[in-house]
Amino acid sequence: LSRFYCDYCDTYLTHDSPSVRKTHCSGRKHKENVKDYYQKWMEEQAQSLIDKTTAAFQQGKIPPTPFSAPPPAGAMIPPPPSI
């Protein structure tokens, strides 16, 4: 008896057939699990990037942003868009 394992839902389907897989994958709970999985993955990627950037900045590998200093004399700063 071959059973299909769904990684997103951490569960085995009763049996492996195209109709059972299709029914499972179109279900609300499965879709929520897929969304949650990728949401968590994106948050981990963003946090990793933040951590690497912070570490590089602290080690002096990234100079302060040009926006942290006042603009040079005579520099034109565009006005905010009118509402």
Convert the pLDDT of each residue in 47-78 to its tens digit: 999 999 999 988 888 776 666 556 566 666 66
| Alpha-carbon gap, residue 6 to 27, rounded angstroms | 12
pLDDT digits (tens, 9 = 90+) for 18-50: 999 999 999 999 999 999 999 999 999 999 999
What pTM did the predictor assign?
0.61
Torsion over CA: 52, 58, 61, 67 (sign)? positive
Q: Which domains does the chain have, with CATH numbers?
A: 3-57 (3.30.160)
11: phi then psi, degrees, rounded to nearest 5 = -150, 155
